[in-house]
Amino acid sequence: MFNLQGKNAVITGGGSGIGQAIALTFAENGADVRILELNEESARHTLEQIRAAGGNARVFTGNVADQKQMMSLMQQIIAQDGRLDILVNCAGIAHVGKLDQTAEADFDRIFAVNVKGIYNCMYAAIGQMLQQGGGVILNMASVASSVGIPDRFAYSMSKGAVVTMTLSVARDYIDKNIRCNCISPARVHTPFVDGFLAKNYPGKEKEMFDQLSKTQPIGRMAEPKEVAALALFLCSDEAEFITGCDYPVDGGFIKLNN
């Protein structure tokens, strides 16, 4: 089950965190992985891990916020592979701040990557999926799209947009054999979390990590591989009946936090 043998998967943000975990998991399960990443060094690190494990992957460097770049890179991938079976949009950035702490430049930066970036990649991929008779798109949203989280105004805005774009694409292409879903993680222990704590709470990293972990009713943060496991299922043939859904991976955060 959940075998991706013979499928080509483009994963944005595949150089670190959740995107890297998805790239590794997909490769382990037979997919030919195409890592689309702004940071070439981190992408190469993921590539080395995949190849060391006997998997197949290539790296493409670009900025998801630039539509011309995404169109060009997607055309390169399609020209080399002949098809595009799976697109996973993981590339994203964060911003900490309330409305009055969010400058226009902050808002535009978040929108450019988290919203327009996903639009750009889906736009660049949809033509090939229509031509070949189907495909799977998976977007990375957040629990911030469903509940109010303090100090995350712009980030929450962007993730709400991800969910509604997902639903729209799922509805518009349901009769074209193109499925589109999204995953909404709560806090996941990634390098971003470690960097955030080191920057904002120097000397108190462990204390704050424990505090943030306990905001999930289950008592800990998720591991990237746990999000990747759900991504594997949603992009596999076993999930052929699933489209237009948002899946929380949240340790009970949405429903059990009273």
Active site positions, annotated: 155
48: CB partners within 8 A, 6+ apart? none
143 vs 28, 117, 257, CA distance in Å?
28, 19, 12
Order of all β-strands in the sheet with 86-89: 56-61, 32-37, 8-12, 86-89, 135-140, 178-185, 246-249
Candidates 176, 182, 85; CA nearest to 136 is: 85
Distance CA 67, CA 125 (A): 12
- DSSP state letter for 67: H
Distance CA 239, CA 252 (A): 23
CB atoms within 10 A of CB 247: 18
